[in-house]
């Protein structure tokens, strides 16, 4: 999995993760490491549980991210969804029923949901201000 190192003299905290100076972390999540102050030291993944890992950018409007039914012959049934707002603000919602709650995200906010038995088929992302960037990672659990 990609590895990042904190080569600064400051503690770096983001999306519930704290990296102390000199510490190396390994993660399959997408992070804008340059903005955070981390140095990417390796791209090589050992195991790739990632289904989707993408940064979405927009100024207004709505975008849907569909969760595939299958990846490389493996059914996508149990997975986690990590969403991190690196700039701006956005609303996210899972599926399109009126029973699904809306989650507000502002710069630096994130959320993680475990989806067992394919409870989520899509993520609806609504950009609320100019220059909004949201990183979404979906991976097998």
From CA 116, how far away is CA 43, in angstroms rounded?
29
Q: What is the pLDDT of residue 45?
A: 58
pLDDT above 70: percentage of residues in the chain: 93
* Greater model confidence, 9 or 16: 9
Q: What is the pTM of this model?
A: 0.67
What local confidence, expressed as pLDDT, does residue 86 receive?
Answer: 94
SS3 33: helix
| CB-based contact 136:123 (threshold 8 Å) | yes
Residue with tokens 């940064």: 55
Task: Using pLDDT thresholds of 50, 70 and 90, give the confidence band for residue 125.
Answer: very high
Closest to 56 in 3D by CA, of 140, 141, 139, 138: 138
Better-predicted residue by pLDDT, 59 or 100: 59
């Amino acid at each position: 999995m990609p590895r990042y190192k904190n080569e600064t003299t400051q503690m770096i905290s983001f999306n519930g993760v704290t990296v102390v100076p000199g510490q190396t972390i390994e993660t399959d999540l997408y992070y804008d490491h340059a903005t955070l102050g981390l140095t990417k030291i390796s791209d090589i993944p050992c195991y790739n549980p990632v289904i989707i890992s993408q940064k979405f950018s927009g100024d207004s409007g709505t975008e849907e991210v569909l969760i595939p039914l299958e990846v490389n012959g493996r059914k996508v049934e149990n997975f986690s969804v990590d969403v991190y707002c690196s700039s701006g603000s956005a609303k996210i919602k899972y599926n399109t029923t009126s029973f699904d709650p809306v989650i507000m995200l502002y710069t630096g906010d994130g959320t993680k949901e475990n989806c067992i038995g394919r409870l989520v088929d899509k993520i609806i992302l609504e950009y609320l201000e100019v220059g909004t960037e949201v990183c979404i990672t979906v991976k097998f659990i």
